[in-house]
Structure 1
Amino acid sequence: MDKQATIAGQAVYTKNVLSIYDFWVLGVSNRYFWKCPTPRIAEKFVEQVSDNHLDVGVGSGYYLKHFLPQTTQRIALLDLNQNSLDKASEVISHFQPEIYRADILQPLKLNAEKFDSISVNFLLHCLPGSISTKGIIFEHLKEYMTTGGVLFGSTILGKGTEQNFVARKLMGIYNEKGIFSNLDDDLDSLTEVLNEQFIDVSVELVGCVALFSGKKA
């Protein structure tokens, strides 16, 4: 896997971009372009998050800030981008989160106990390669899941979805810049890689966004 391409996908998350992330991505883009309003993703987060949770590809920490149960016993953050880790850890500082900086496409070497749940929201479409190759992240994360633990998340698919004019243009620009790498990402490929690693796999398409989950056998 091209490490430079991995870096390109996460480098966009500067402090300035993160300051408008919630408005532009979660407020405008999800509702009007990708046709999957953020509350739909938040609903899945609330349903599946545990009190022993790892969030991967943390963004601004929005879901953690607004929907992490106050009864949470343990929360950890994993990302390659230090700005995102700083932002997300700040908004949930009262939980004293564990922080891990790592490239999820590489084998993880975390000195960490296993988690009962792991979330990967809006991460896959930022990773380079095809679904079949970047799906290696599920193998890497499964090592840190308890038996019966759930992995869940969401990703924007570039193939096999209905896209309005603005969505097509925006997706094209993001792929040209290396922010996205999802033009060939489709529902069948995602379902296949999930079934290779997990049981009780569920994949739901809402607009351009796939909401997915699976359990560790």
Structure 2
Amino acid sequence: MTLDHDPAPDADHRAVHDGQAPYHRRALAFYDLFVMHGSAPWFWRCPPRNFRQLYDTCAGARHVEIGVGTGYLLHHARFPVPDPRITLVDLNPATLDYTAKRLARYRTERVVANALEPLPLPEGEADSAALSFLLHCLPGSIAEKGVALAHAARAVRPGGVVFGSTILASGVPVTRAGRFLMRELNRKGVFHNERDSLRDLRDRLDAHFPRHELVVRGCVGLFRAWTPA
């Protein structure tokens, strides 16, 4: 099932649409190679095992994935049950279809929605929600687009976990090659992370959750945060 949620066409929403536009069907076929096994370990200095460990320890039986990519991490995740219920949330129908097909062995629901707006999901039903490699693609600074964390939290039950990762521009070590690629991706509108700092990410986690953990691997911030029990 796919639910459509059409945001108003202001500048930020256009930027959100522009950011997800490159993820068409042909590009998705190479995403895992170029991103998870290419730029993540070589430019951002964060190998795939870091992301997979986060999923293995955080993904619950009822999971919401916000910004689905190709479903690489869900495909490899060790869920606590053999038949998890997974809600896929993305603004791009191509990524939703690609990921749903990849996860055909599970029960999935597709929801077309903008992470910067309240999500059209039942409140407090999921055990977990993930925003992996999403925030750096959203327009604005972390202080502004951190609202996506609050929207994710509303979908999660009391005591549930919101987790994910994002590429940061300041407060973390960025290699010369990483800085070059980051500038190019920002110039093209694929990234919007020129103002994204580790301090702002920590502040947003503090603002939306009573407890969280935040670690840095290369220039990637990996986080998990728990909703009030």
Q: TM-score range by the shorter chain?
A: over 0.9
Q: Percent identity?
A: 37
RMSD: 1.4
Structure (1 or 2) with the greater helix fraction: 1
Report if aligned partners of 1:50, 1:72 keep a CA contact under 8 Å in 2: no
Q: Secondary structure at the match of 1:93?
A: coil
Q: Distance in 2 between matches of 1:78 and 1:109?
A: 10
Change (3 A) 1:164 1:113: closer
1:13 matches 2:23? yes
Structure 1, unmatched stretches of 5+, are: none
Q: What's the offset of the Cα at 1:137?
A: 0.7
What is the aligned counterpart of 1:195 among 206, 218, 226? 206
Q: What's the offset of the Cα at 1:33?
A: 0.5
Query: AA paired with 1:11?
Result: A
Structure 2, unmatched stretches of 5+, are: 1-10
Report if aligned partners of 2:84, 2:107 keep a CA contact under 8 Å in 1: no
Q: What's the offset of the Cα at 1:68?
A: 4.3
Q: What's the offset of the Cα at 1:44?
A: 1.0
Report if aligned partners of 2:213, 2:223 keep a CA contact under 8 Å in 1: yes
- In structure 1, the partner of 2:69 is 59
What is the aligned counterpart of 1:50 among 48, 60, 63? 60
Q: Deviations over 1:103-155 (max 9, x none)?
A: 11112223577101011100000000010110111121221110000000000
Q: What's the offset of the Cα at 1:23?
A: 0.2
Q: What's the offset of the Cα at 1:46?
A: 0.3
- In structure 2, the partner of 1:26 is 36
Q: Distance in 2 between matches of 1:153 and 1:111?
A: 21
| 15-24 vs 60-69, greater mean Cα deviation | 60-69
Q: Deviations over 1:173-199 (max 9, x none)?
A: 000111001111111100111111112
Q: Distance in 1 between matches of 2:142 and 2:161?
A: 20
How many residues are matched? 217
